[in-house]
């Protein structure tokens, strides 16, 4: 056999082997991602609800301050 044929066959074998290794790594990564669970976001939802209520209180205070400033009799 010629050295070119041997090198060609060897490179094909290495190429197919690397494809199988890559496929195995990809399947392992997918399995890891599928096994993970979603984080608990209930505390964040509660924080957002608290902040919304605080913003509503601040908006009402700002509106009352604007109403006082716009009235020339209260200056």
DSSP 5-72: HHHHHHHHHHHHHHHHHHHHHHHHHHHHHHHPPPPP-HHHHHHHHHHHHHHHHHHHHHHHHHHHHH-G
> Which of 51, 75, 50 is closest to 65 using CA atoms?
75
Higher pLDDT, 75 or 68: 68
pLDDT tens by residue, 3-57? 999 999 999 999 999 999 999 999 999 999 988 888 888 999 999 999 999 999 9
Q: pLDDT confidence of 75, banded at 50, 70, 90?
A: low
Phi and psi (nearest 5°) for 37?
-105, 160
Output the pTM of the full model.
0.45
**Structure confidence at residue 44 (pLDDT):** 92
């Amino acid at each position: 056999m010629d050295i070119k044929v041997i090198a060609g066959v060897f490179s094909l074998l290495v190429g197919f082997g690397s494809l199988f290794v890559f496929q195995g790594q990809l399947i392992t990564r997918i399995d890891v991602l599928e096994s993970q669970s979603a984080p608990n976001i209930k505390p964040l939802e509660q924080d957002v609800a608290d902040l919304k209520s605080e913003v509503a209180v601040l908006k009402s205070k700002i509106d009352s301050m604007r109403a006082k400033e716009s009235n020339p009799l209260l200056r």
